[in-house]
Amino acid sequence: MATIIFDFDDTLFDTKKLKKETFDQLASYGIDKKIIEKTYKECRGNYCFSKHTQIIKNKHDLKIPDGVNNWLLNINLESYLFPGVVETLKKLSKKHNLILLTKGEPEFQNIKIKGSKISKHFKEIHITSEAKEIFLKNKKFMPPIYFINDKKSENKIIKKIFPKMIIKEKMENNI
């Protein structure tokens, strides 16, 4: 039995696609694309859709419908999971301990995780505001430990600190 730690954004879930559709949704209210991009950058690293719409409303005095944040709650977030994710998680969770580790703004991360309905496959779910290696340093998981994460820069650091960890950029179903 292994411990398999999964990143969420762009590893299991097509966050780039959601970003594009979020921008299209905001543009459909008549908001200039440059303003959408600029205000997005202002909340980057700690992005939250409701914070993004709030910044647009406050700073740019633009009219967005009151129920705008319901848009995210009402779309089918399961459809943003990459192909094969559900089947692979189902299969791996029978044999291994699956951990979800995501860095970001808790409200937004929770909406995406709950909406994509994958929580049931994980033994633990962690949303951290710290760098992933800091979180991992403070946690003890049973070896062997696999870490599945799309971000090369993070993986480089993690490999240095945890040389025994088996790191993959993409999910495989034959662990």
Residues at the interface with Mg ion (CB under 5 A): 7, 9-11, 150
**Residue 43 or residue 62: which is nearer to Mg ion going by CB?**
43
Residue 6: CB minimum distance to Mg ion, A: 10
- 54-73 as b/e: b if 16+ CB within 10 A: bbbeeeeebebeeebbebbe
Q: How far is the CB of 29 from Mg ion (least distance, A)?
A: 28
> Residue 148 is inside which H or E element, if any?
strand 145-148
Closest CB 12 distance from Mg ion, rounded Å:
9
Q: Which is nearer to Mg ion, 13 or 49 (CB)?
A: 13
| Distance from chain centroid for Cα 127 | 9
| Longest CA span, the chain | 55
Least separation, in Å, of the C-beta of 19 and Mg ion?
Answer: 12
* Residue 136: both structure tokens together: 């991992």
* Beta carbon nearer to Mg ion, 52 or 112: 112
Nearby residues of 39 by Cβ (< 8 Å), 6 or more positions away: 52, 55, 56, 59, 60
Which residue, 10 or 133, is less far from Mg ion as judged by CB?
10
